[in-house]
Amino acid sequence: MTMRFKRILLKLSGESLMGEQGFGIDPQRLSDYAQQIKEVHEMGVQIGIVIGGGNIFRGLSGSQKGFDRVKGDQMGMCATVINSLALSSALGAIGVKTKVLTAIRMEPIGEFYSKWKAIEAMESGHVCIFSAGTGSPYFTTDTGSSLRGIEIEADVMLKGTRVDGIYTADPEKDPKATKFTDITYDEIYTRGLKVMDLTATTMCKENNLPIYVFNMDVYGNLKRVIDGEEIGTLVHN
C-alpha cells in the first residue's frame, strides 16, 4: 500500500482540549489526542502540529473586556505554548519523541522555529509542535497552521474539529444542513462558510494546500483519515 500522505500538518483546536470540563486542559482528551497521534506516527507519517489557545485565552475576546489587543493576542500566543507543552508532555509519556518549536524566542521552553529545523526533526522521527502561532498579533492559529503547513511542504492540513466536516449551515443550529464530501476554496467564500478565517483559507488556496476537516474528538478518526476513509470534507482548488 502506498501512503496517501507522507507529511501532514495537524491543526488541533485549543477549545477541544477542554473536553467536558469547560475550561483548561482535560487530561483524558489530551491523552486521547496523544494516542491518536502516536498511531499515525507509527505508520511512518511525518507529523507537524499546531494547537490553538482558545481554551485559555483569545485576544479578540480579551479586547472586548478592555485588554489591549496586541497584549491580548500575545497572551493568546502564550496560551498556545502552554497547550503545546501539554501535548508534548503527553506524547513523551507514551514514548513519542517531540520537538516544540516557538514562533517567538523563548528558550529553553522551545527552540526558535525554522523550516529546516522542523523538517530535519520530522525526518528523524520527531513529532514537531509549532507553538505561538505566527508570532504576530491579529492572526490566528488557523493562519499559523496554514503558514507552517505550506512552509514544511505538508501534503495536507488535517483540521481536527468537533464536527465531522463542512456543512451547508451550522449543523448544531440547522437540522436541514447537509455535509460536503469536498468543496472548493472559492465555494467557501461565495457561500460565506466559516471553516477557518479568510486569511488562513486564502493562504491555503494561493499555495495549493488542501485542507481536510474531520472530527478529531472521536477516537480513531485521525487514523481513519490517514487510511483514506472519507469521514470528513476535503477543501481544494
Position among 60, 93, 94, 169 found at the interface with ligand UDP (CB under 6 A): 60
Query: By CB under 6 A, is residue 15 in contact with ligand UDP?
Result: yes
Handedness of CA 43, 47, 52, 55 (dihedral sign): positive
Position among 19, 48, 110, 133 found at the interface with ligand UDP (CB under 6 A): 133
CA–CA separation, 228 and 205 (whole Å): 22
**Residue whose cell numbers read 482540549:** 17
Residue 52 vs 149, nearer CB to ligand UDP: 52
Position among 41, 58, 159, 205 found at the interface with ligand UDP (CB under 6 A): 58
CA–CA separation, 210 and 195 (whole Å): 13
CA–CA separation, 165 and 173 (whole Å): 15
Nearest of 127, 108, 118 to residue 33 by alpha carbon: 127
Residue 32 vs 73, nearer CB to ligand UDP: 73
Q: Considering the complex, what minimum distance in angstroms separates the CB of residue 41 from ligand UDP? A: 22
Amino acid at 144: G
8: left (phi over 0), alpha (psi -120 to 50) or beta: beta
CA–CA separation, 236 and 212 (whole Å): 9
Residue 80 vs 98, nearer CB to ligand UDP: 80
Task: Give the number of other Cβ atoms within 10 Å of residue 223's Cβ.
Answer: 17
CA–CA separation, 121 and 111 (whole Å): 12
Position among 36, 102, 131, 134 found at the interface with ligand UDP (CB under 6 A): 134
Query: By CB under 6 A, is residue 73 in contact with ligand UDP?
Result: yes
Query: By CB under 6 A, is residue 156 in contact with ligand UDP?
Result: no
Position among 36, 98, 131, 141 found at the interface with ligand UDP (CB under 6 A): 141
Per-residue interface string for the shown chain with ligand UDP, residues 27-56, x marking contact by CB under 6 A: -------------------------xxx--
Query: By CB under 6 A, is residue 110 in contact with ligand UDP?
Result: no
Position among 5, 113, 130, 139 found at the interface with ligand UDP (CB under 6 A): 139
Handedness of CA 82, 118, 103, 143 (dihedral sign): negative
Which residues lie near ligand UDP (CB under 6 A)?
Answer: 13-15, 52-54, 58-60, 72-73, 76-77, 79-80, 133-134, 136-137, 139-144
